[in-house]
Amino acid sequence: MLPGAQKSAGKRANTASSWQALAPGFGVLVFYLVAGTGLWFAVLRSHPFPAGTAGTSGPAAAGGSQQLPQNHPPIALPEEVKKRIAELVEKANAAPQDVQTWKTLAELQFRASQVDASYRSAALASYRHILTLVPDDPDALRGIGNVYYDFEEYAKAIDYYQKYLAQRPEDPNVRTDLGTMYLYTNEIDRAVAEYQAVIAKDPSFFQAHFNLGIAYHEKGQREKARESLLRAKSLTTDHTIQARIDQVLAQLDGNAPSPASSVPASGTNRSPFQQAVEKILREQQIMGSRITRIEWPTATEARVFLQNFPMEGMPAEIRQRLVQRLRAQIAEAKNTAGMNSAAKVDLIDLDTQKIMETISA
């Protein structure tokens, strides 16, 4: 199945500062909800094409929830976040005219819905309440469009995105999402026009190039599709995303690799200790999905390469908790394997090759 158009990163790849702007204490939560949810939530939200379009087989399973890397453990909304949402609900209900509080609540409910879809309806209700206080509020219009996008009610999303863009026509993220809604409703020419409009303003906007390639493919314009996808590939240094684009290009040519052949082997020729450590690292909720490869220079030393994992920006409390947990788990794996020598794990940023943390056990 040909992978679908991508939701713009502007609404999904949020930084710690954007979370902290919502309410006090959010810095403690950001790495659960952003870094912990995997590539396709934080960077490229992927939806298959709707039923009836060429080469596809219908809407996403599980209501369009984010796709995680193969064998990634399920993502659960932390109890801290649920508690914070409940507190904000009480605060908002006690101040029904407080627009900012309702915006904070709606935004948190929407972000929580990316992990737990049961929060979608609550986010929609909160955004609608904002419109009763401030008709045509652009943040609420965009928010409702986003919720309808996730509900796969594309015609409704189009309506709200259009209302938002009437006020903020230069927003490339929402205009790209509008184009994707046209794509999903089989208005291919309108989708192409929106993507081209974004690219005309910002030639380096990755999602617009990628989605334009998909739209051209739907129109049967294979060379234009390839050109747009190759341009998208040139705009990212993320090797995982580049590999994803290579898979799409292969599918365009009818040479798609089988799912089994596209997944690198893990744990091949590893000792029981090394296999245990790799399992610990890859199943780690916060960073597991960001691991691109693990190298073993020696039997007890691992080099773990992570893509787009902002460890240096992690709140100190979360970073300390992460390191302590990993150290304890690695020590347990060492004891289970009957090892006496010291073990060391370097966490390395893939792009800069900088060691972000060394964990010794």
- In terms of pTM, does the model score above 0.85? no
Q: How far is CA 107 from the centre of its chain?
A: 16
Answer yes or no: is pLDDT of 16 > 50: no
* 94-103, 266-275, 344-353: range with lowest mean pLDDT: 266-275
Please say if the pLDDT value at position 212 is more than 70. yes
Strands (E), the chain: 6-7, 45-46, 291-298, 301-306, 344-349, 355-360
Write the DSSP string, 56-102: ---SPGGGGPPP--TTPPPP---HHHHHHHHHHHHHHHH-TT-HHHH
Q: CA–CA distance from 85 to each of 105, 110, 148, 150 (Å)?
A: 7, 11, 21, 20
**Does position 313 have pLDDT exceeding 70, yes or no?**
yes
Averaged pLDDT for residues 134-140? 96
How high is the pLDDT of residue 116?
Answer: 85
The sign of the torsion formed by the CA atoms of 114, 120, 123, 127 equals positive
- Calpha distance 97→91 (Å, rounded): 11
Mean pLDDT across the stretch 16-30? 32
**Angle made by CA atoms 273, 276, 282, in degrees to the nearest 5:** 140
Average pLDDT over residues 155-162: 97
How many C-beta atoms surround the C-beta of residue 46 within 10 A? 18
User: Considering only CA atoms, which of 115, 108, 178 is closest in space to residue 142?
Assistant: 178
Section 126-135 average pLDDT? 97
Cβ-contact 260, 328 below 8 angstroms: no
Of the two residues 305 and 21, the one the predictor is more confident about is 305
Strand bridging mode 45-46 / 355-360: unpaired
Instruction: Report pLDDT digits (tens) over 221-247.
Output: 999 999 999 999 999 887 777 887 888
- Please give the span between the terminal C-alpha atoms of the chain, in angstroms, as a whole number: 44
Q: What is the mean pLDDT of the chain?
A: 77
Report how far residue 164's alpha carbon sits from residue 174's, in angstroms, rounded to the nearest whole number: 8
Q: Which has the closest alpha carbon to 44: 73, 14, 6?
A: 6
pLDDT value for 233: 92
Q: How many angstroms from the chain centroid is the CA of residue 339?
A: 38
Question: Which stretch of 94-98, 153-157, 180-184, 256-260 has the lowest confidence by average pLDDT?
Answer: 256-260
Q: What is the pLDDT of residues 187-198, one digit of tens each?
A: 999 999 999 999
Positive or negative, the Cα torsion across 164, 169, 171, 172? positive
Looking up tokens 């992990």 gives 115
Q: What is the mean pLDDT of residues 296-304?
A: 91
Q: What is the C-alpha separation between 348 and 51, in angstroms, rounded?
A: 42
Whose tokens are 């046209």? That residue is: 182
What is the reported pLDDT for 3? 46
Higher pLDDT, 4 or 41: 4
**Banded pLDDT at 6 (limits 50, 70, 90):** low
The rounded distance, in Å, linking the Cα atoms of 114 and 67 is 11
Lowest mean pLDDT among 32-41, 211-220, 332-341: 32-41
What's the pLDDT at 187? 94
Contact 23, 84 (CB under 8 A): yes
Q: What is the dihedral of CA 336, 338, 342, 347, to 10 degrees?
A: -30
Residue 255: predicted pLDDT: 60
pLDDT of 89 > 70? The answer is yes
Residue 246 tokens, joined? 């290579």
Q: Which of 323, 325, 287 is nearest to 307 (CA)?
A: 287
Residue 249 pLDDT grade (very low, low, confident, very high; cuts 50, 70, 90): confident
Mean pLDDT of 2-30: 40
Torsion of CA 233, 237, 243, 248, to 10 degrees: -20
Which pLDDT value is given to residue 120? 94
What's residue 30's pLDDT?
33
Structure tokens at 213: 């390639």
For the cut 50, the answer to whether the pLDDT of residue 273 exceeds it is yes
The predicted pLDDT at position 44 comes to 31
